[in-house]
Amino acid sequence: AAEKGEDMYGPFDSVADLMEALNA
């Protein structure tokens, strides 16, 4: 999972989803 960033971003599918959540 680490290669997809799953361990870093947890429930977020991607860095883009993480940024959207932070900026919501």
Q: CA angle, corner 18, sides to 13 and 20, nearest 5?
A: 115
**Structure tokens, 18:** 């993480």
Residue 5 phi, psi dihedral angles, 5° rounding: 85, 10
Q: Please report the pLDDT score of residue 9 as a whole number.
A: 56
d(CA 24, CA 8): 20
| pTM summary value | 0.35
Residue 1: its pLDDT value, please? 45
The pLDDT tens digits for 8-22 are: 556 666 778 778 888
Burial track 1-24 (b if 16+ CB lie within 10 A, e otherwise) = eeeeeeeeeeebeeeeebeeeeee
